[in-house]
Structure 1
């Protein structure tokens, strides 16, 4: 099934969103990013750990087989698994959500997700219709369903949920502010706006998908962002930028999103011709 999914991505997604499948499960050591934010994911799928005075927040758990590697990275940073209090979800697709059940079990953390994806997470059935079929994942209870503008706070650290539906109905971009050298910075964990096999026409499970994509693309393009940390790290060269000290990159999010808009427009026209 994974091969079918990746084949669909290769057809439907832009070149910068295409992935080398082995990278999704290839473990790497944790990477210090910026402020209290660390990278604890695999080479090709991001999981971000945010340390606070009252515990830690994890953004995404990626695939089920990656959970042991993510947990090793968390412990390597001196954080106990039981100190992870919240797991924030970007969206309900198997490559970002299949590890949630195991991570929740091992940490005792509460799962927080966009309201539009809560049912998918609690049933293990991804939302919408795709060209590659249905790839299920372990169901997980959602402790809190967030909507646009909701805030999640732990130990004096606050993240804001920005609803950016399209890729999934509850696709949630998370934002937070940090200070660096006395300068405030906007950090954005953008949810994907790639088509990646989503049906843009005749999607009976998600009839408003195309309109949501367009609205979210416009919203993300205008979002203040000094640091961009996406769910697929290569989309913003996160690991390379961290290594070379170039994580602060105003304008990068807009550049990424405008490229995604062009790719969306091409795919919309292609699917429209096929649908006629």
Structure 2
């Protein structure tokens, strides 16, 4: 396996995506019994779930570097054509930019939050940021009262407004061949950079988004998540869990404390932001 590369903190990751995406490329690796990290890059996460009855993909990365994702799926031993469901965590181009191309290629059903769909309809630029974004239509919307089901997997969604109005988090149980179960959790948008007064005011979003973000993080911190899936690997030092000698070994990601600590850290960061004591991350 090749050595993975992080995006330097002071550099714009979009520059890598647009000009030289291979500089942030990484091989796929397993993070749970039936879950693989397949974004093909070290900046934004995307997860492939083998349900036994087709594949679920969470997030799609950017269209310019979509080849990294499709190659990662193949290298992990799967056929991108077997993707039956695509779930979007939130409406930002780095997480949904490749959606239209994948939707056309796989004919998968697409789900997202109704809230971010409305943003996409009325403020297209807030989702895609650039004029070349490829629009898409979802097949359905999330409901916190209804699980998304395929094969052996039942995914519970939780609306977590803040990063975007419709940011959605995902939770599901995965079981190994010996019957041991792991609760996997992914916060759909944990970056607090979109929670400043200035940003919220500029976009016309209510300032209570920030307190809702804090409350949701504190609530979810108590949930017994065994494997914390990172939407952006640098937020949790996620890549340190990879066993590059054996990328199918997911034990480095089994850590219930990691989820709790991440949620509480995110809540604290947002609270400090509200008090003007820190820069959002």
Using the TM superposition, give the Cα deviation of residue 19 of structure 1 relative to its aligned residue in structure 2, in angstroms.
7.7
Cα separation, 2, equivalents of 1:125 and 1:111: 20
2:261 to 240, 252, 255: 255
Using the TM superposition, give the Cα deviation of residue 218 of structure 1 relative to its aligned residue in structure 2, in angstroms.
2.1
Partner of 2:136: 140
SS at match of 1:103: helix
Using the TM superposition, give the Cα deviation of residue 122 of structure 1 relative to its aligned residue in structure 2, in angstroms.
5.0
> Is 1:226 aligned to 2:222, yes or no?
no
**What are structure 1's unaligned runs of at least 5 residues?**
1-5, 11-17, 128-132, 272-276
Give CA-to-partner distance per residue, 1:41-94, whole Å, 9 cap, x none. 111111110012221000000111121111111122332222101111111111
> Is 1:93 aligned to 2:99, yes or no?
no
**Retained in 1: the 8 A contact 2:214–2:271?**
no
Q: Which runs of 4+ in 1 moved over 4 A?
A: 18-24, 133-136
Q: Measured at CA, do residues 19 and 150 of structure 1 come closer, stay the same or move farther in structure 2, by a change above 3 Å?
A: farther
**What are structure 2's unaligned runs of at least 5 residues?**
1-6, 245-250
**Retained in 2: the 8 A contact 1:229–1:236?**
no
Cα separation, 1, equivalents of 2:221 and 2:202: 25
Cα separation, 1, equivalents of 2:54 and 2:91: 25
Using the TM superposition, give the Cα deviation of residue 21 of structure 1 relative to its aligned residue in structure 2, in angstroms.
5.6
Q: Measured at CA, do residues 63 and 20 of structure 1 come closer, stay the same or move farther in structure 2, by a change above 3 Å?
A: closer
Q: Measured at CA, do residues 59 and 204 of structure 1 come closer, stay the same or move farther in structure 2, by a change above 3 Å?
A: closer
Cα separation, 1, equivalents of 2:159 and 2:50: 24
Number of residue pairs aligned between Structure 1 and Structure 2: 253
> Is 1:167 aligned to 2:167, yes or no?
no
Partner of 1:191: 188
Q: Measured at CA, do residues 88 and 35 of structure 1 come closer, stay the same or move farther in structure 2, by a change above 3 Å?
A: same
Q: Measured at CA, do residues 97 and 59 of structure 1 come closer, stay the same or move farther in structure 2, by a change above 3 Å?
A: same
Using the TM superposition, give the Cα deviation of residue 146 of structure 1 relative to its aligned residue in structure 2, in angstroms.
0.6
Alpha-carbon RMSD across the aligned residues, in angstroms, is 2.8
**Retained in 1: the 8 A contact 2:59–2:96?**
yes
**Retained in 2: the 8 A contact 1:122–1:139?**
no
**Retained in 1: the 8 A contact 2:215–2:267?**
no
SS at match of 1:185: strand
Cα separation, 2, equivalents of 1:122 and 1:48: 26
Q: Measured at CA, do residues 19 and 248 of structure 1 come closer, stay the same or move farther in structure 2, by a change above 3 Å?
A: farther
Counterparts of residues 14-163 of structure 1 (less than 5 Å):
25=21, 26-41=24-39, 42-121=41-120, 124-126=124-126, 134=129, 137-163=133-159
SS at match of 1:265: helix
**Retained in 1: the 8 A contact 2:33–2:175?**
yes
